[in-house]
Chains A and B, each alone.
Chain A
Amino acid sequence: MSKLTKTSAAADMEPTEERPTDAPSEFLSVRDLKVHFPTDDGVVKSVDGLSFTLEKGKTLGIVGESGSGKSVTSLSILGLHRVGSNRSRNARISGEVWLDGEELISADAARVRDLRGQKMAMIFQDPLTAMHPFFSVGQQIIEAYRVHHPSASKKEARKRTIEMLDRVGIPQPDRRVDDYPHQFSGGMRQRAMIAMALVNDPSLLIADEPTTALDVTVQAQILDLIRDLQKEFGSAVIIITHDLGVVAELADDILVMYGGRCIERGPSETIFEQPQHPYTWGLLGSMPRLDRERTDRLNPVKGSPPSLINLPSGCAFHPRCPYTDLTEGASQTVVPELREVGSRHLAACHLGKADRERIWTEEIAPKL
């Protein structure tokens, strides 16, 4: 991460428009975030009007399939679409991201760079590609620390690094600190990556598929570690994954994304017990579960995820939705609004309340 901060140029700012000065009271507030990438084939609307909030000490799980915009969301919160190659500089970002009373989309690139790694940090999916193979694990963590603590001596930074490696459960941290990433196993690399992300005590931690590359036993260790560290540091955590099992383990709130939009959002328990969107039903029906009796057949969503260049009209999910007949054509033409369907529970679906409840209790829930 610290590598990226070095390459970022301060000259990539677009003129900012006037925006309301009403800072939200929540710790993290994302309002109507849009990230569009113009390409030769058309505009890829990776994120198209996403809003959510997150408090300190809470965990938000963002769930979706590949191409639903979940990773792009996290990268744009960190301002990582503004640095690097020209291609990514072309991203058109609008909306607001408020972190602890500060707006980040319109903020100065240098300011975002200061915050990145210090106030907000990220754990990437594949620690082998996210770490530099040429530098020892220790050097990389020390750099991340010293970038934000310029007054710290090398010795202090090293001490802090060893402390962090110890905290994330790396055996013999004083010796392993000089090892290179390839000398670590997959699970240890992910631990080192967590140590790097947490070395500056960030108050927002984004974990993008943190356990997808790992074995189940190691996955359980890492999930426990993230949970413990969150309790200890009281940070806000966003966990991005395609695995509903992982979010159920960690998240307080869940946000389900489809085609760049949020289609359902609510407290974890509500999402698992009273989901209101047919796509969420499909996700639940797709996964074989160890905690239930084995079913003869899975009930997957038919078809495949849509192209983000030509999103289907109306509700983006309608070509795959088995219940479009019940909406009297609205789902083909009108984009459904995210509406309140329960306490703190929002869903974007044209189906009537009675229909949704009947389908869930009679058709979906018994088959899970």
Chain B
Amino acid sequence: MTIPQQTTAEGAEPLLKVSGLVKHFPITKGVLRRQVGAVKAVDGLDFEVMPGETLGVVGESGCGKSTMGRLITRLLEPTGGKIEFEGRDITHLGTSAMRPRRRDVQMIFQDPYSSLNPRHTVGTIVSAPFRLQKVETEHGTKKAVQDLLELVGLSPEHYNRYPHEFSGGQRQRIGIARALALKPKLVVADEPVSALDVSIQAQVVNLLDDLQSELGLTYVIIAHDLSVIRHVSDRIAVMYLGKIVEIADRESLYGKPMHPYTTALMSAVPVPDPKRRTQRKRILLTGDVPSPISPPSGCRFHTRCWKATEVCRTVEPPLIALTPAAGHRVACHHPENAPDQAPGETSATAATGGKSVESA
């Protein structure tokens, strides 16, 4: 077992550096498969992940967070931008050049039912990484797999069983064991707990937590649940329509959210306290997320934002630090908890597509 690494040490090299990452899925038409448009799933992302930290990525469905996860694990070919892993450019590495790198970047999938081959035993599934990477282990693969099963809270006797014999939570543990087999440096988990029951969710969250401190892992955790994200992450990126609208460490994001979208998302989370339901202020966003095929001009959130002005419709706000708080960056002309970036604009020209209601 490795020694837990220090989180975000000063001046440390980022483990993963993403700049200007773009992924457009073409829409084709006719027999000639002429391209008539593109789904702009990911449209310019910049972020870094430091060794030992957990970056949470949160957003509504269709905001491109899963595509982002598949891009940084190189399961999808990026349309543009750059991905650097440990200082090395991996953006367009071919299959064979990427293979040795796969050891360091692993993924945990959302659905524990479809991500395990039903015809393979647990032993075959968890030992697949050793086989594919031709890794020799000290006491043989079987022993290594059994150790892994124990590590994730399963019993070594489960080696010869099939996935259907396990519950959802146990299957997710098998998926985690597989991802950890080669001692990766970066683990990308796409909605690791959303398919699980409440009590099992908490068990898996705790397991991920323990494994991180035990093995010094770095996580990128993608989820839609803001309370789970707050629990597991050190830093959080909020995505909307293929872009990061706000990125900050946990305390400042949840304590002083700046982007209206972040505020709205947080206020929408149901609070398990019946007394509070009458008192709390809730920002209700109207409408749905616009289509990523033709995202709105300017700030992409302007169609649903209650603070939107003319400038929001025309000028795209850059993702920048607005306050001295280290590492809190936001892309907004009229942020909350920070100086207004476009004063003098009146909200009289508020967007027509959406208005927000504040219920007392």
Contact = CB atoms under 8 A, between A and B. Distances in A.
Interface of B: 60-61, 167, 169-170, 197-203, 205-206, 209, 224-228, 230-231, 250, 254, 264-277, 282, 284-286, 288-289, 359
B226 A216 contact: yes
A283 B198 CA distance: 7
Given A220-B270, A288-B231, A300-B200, 5 more contacts: A217-B265, A218-B288, A290-B269, A304-B169, A305-B199
B197 A66 contact: yes
A215 B272 contact: no
A223 B202 contact: no
Contact of A220 (B198, B231, B268, B288): B268
A282 B284 contact: no
A107 B286 CA distance: 44
Contact of A289 (B199, B200, B272): B272
Contact of B359 (A185, A219, A224): A224
A65 B228 CA distance: 18
Identify the interface centre among B170, B199, B288, B289: most chain A CB within 10 Å of its CB.
B199
Contact of B274 (A188, A219, A268, A301): A268
B169 A298 contact: no
Contact of B254 (A219, A285, A290): A290
B206 A297 contact: yes
Contacts of B227: 287-290
Nearest to B198: A286
A293 B285 CA distance: 26
B270 A245 contact: yes
Given A219-B270, A289-B227, A242 B197 contact: yes
Contact of A216 (B198, B268, B274, B359): B268
A291 interface: yes
A74 interface: no
Nearest to A297: B206
Given A288-B230, A304-B169, A245 B271 contact: yes
A298 B227 CA distance: 12
Given A217-B60, A218-B288, A245-B272, A298 B265 contact: no
B301 to A, nearest CB: 12
B20 to A, nearest CB: 27
B202 A216 contact: no
A207 to B, nearest CB: 14
A294 interface: yes
B270 A223 contact: yes
B242 to A, nearest CB: 16
A345 to B, nearest CB: 14
A290 B226 contact: yes
Contacts of A245: 269-272
Given A217-B268, A248-B274, A291-B271, A286 B60 contact: no
A304 B198 contact: no
B111 to A, nearest CB: 14
A304 B226 contact: no
Interface residues of A, number: 46
Contacts of A223: 270
Contacts of B224: 215-216
A135 to B, nearest CB: 23
A249 B206 contact: no
A244 B272 CA distance: 6
Interface string A181-194: 00001111000000
Contacts of A215: 60-61, 224, 289
A248 B271 CA distance: 7
A269 interface: yes
A37 interface: no
Contacts of A327: none
Nearest to A215: B60
A301 B200 CA distance: 8
Nearest to A61: B274
Interface string A33-71: 000000000000000000000000000000001100000
A248 B270 contact: yes
Contacts of B266: 290
Contact of B199 (A217, A282, A288): A282
29 contacts: A65-B197, A65-B200, A188-B288, A215-B224, A217-B284, A218-B60, A219-B270, A220-B268, A223-B270, A245-B270, A248-B270, A248-B271, A272-B272, A272-B273, A272-B274, A287-B202, A289-B227, A290-B227, A290-B271, A291-B273, A294-B231, A298-B205, A300-B199, A300-B203, A302-B203, A304-B167, A304-B170, A305-B197, A305-B199
Nearest to B60: A215
Given A243-B270, A300-B200, A304-B167, A288 B288 contact: no
A300 B288 contact: no
Contact of A291 (B198, B276, B289): B276
B274 A269 contact: yes
A327 B68 CA distance: 52
Contact of B272 (A219, A248, A282, A300): A248
B269 A216 contact: yes
Contact of B202 (A221, A251, A290, A299): A299
A284 interface: yes
A185 B290 CA distance: 10
Q: Which 10 A-B pairs have the closest CB atoms?
A: A245-B270, A300-B202, A288-B231, A286-B202, A220-B268, A298-B202, A268-B274, A301-B199, A215-B60, A65-B197
B200 A249 contact: no
Contacts of B264: 217
Contact of A297 (B209, B250, B267): B209
Contacts of B276: 291
